[in-house]
Amino acid sequence: MGQKLALQDLQIQGREVSLLRFLSPSQVAMIDEALAALGEFGEVRLVVEKGRLRFVVTQNSHDALKWQPGSLNRKGAE
């Protein structure tokens, strides 16, 4: 899982080749941004309506063993 393709791997004679069938490059970037924003725990769900990506739903989770009251509202709190 997770074979990374560099941009040069997706170029043939100077032209970019899209391997995407369902998502646009901007949607891939949006999903990547949502994943990066999750933090230590969380979920990203993709909601498809009528064959098209309609919503990207994010849910953050917090470790109950590490959580301290009031820490969810503090910046930089873990």
pLDDT in tens, 25-54: 899 999 999 999 998 889 999 999 999 999
Q: Report d(CA 21, CA 30) in Å as an integer.
A: 16
Query: Is 19 inside a domain boundary?
Result: no
Query: Is 13 inside a domain boundary?
Result: no
Nearest alpha carbon to residue 31 among 53, 4, 51: 53
pLDDT at 66 over 90: no
Average pLDDT over residues 61-74: 81
Number of domains in the chain: 1
Query: Is 28 inside a domain boundary?
Result: yes
Note if the pTM is more than 0.75: no
Q: Report d(CA 22, CA 52) in Å as an integer.
A: 8
Confidence of residue 21 (pLDDT cuts 50, 70, 90): confident
Query: Is 55 inside a domain boundary?
Result: yes
Query: Is 73 inside a domain boundary?
Result: no
Query: Is 37 inside a domain boundary?
Result: yes
Q: 41 is written with which tokens? A: 């725990």
The parent domain of residue 51 ranges over 24-66
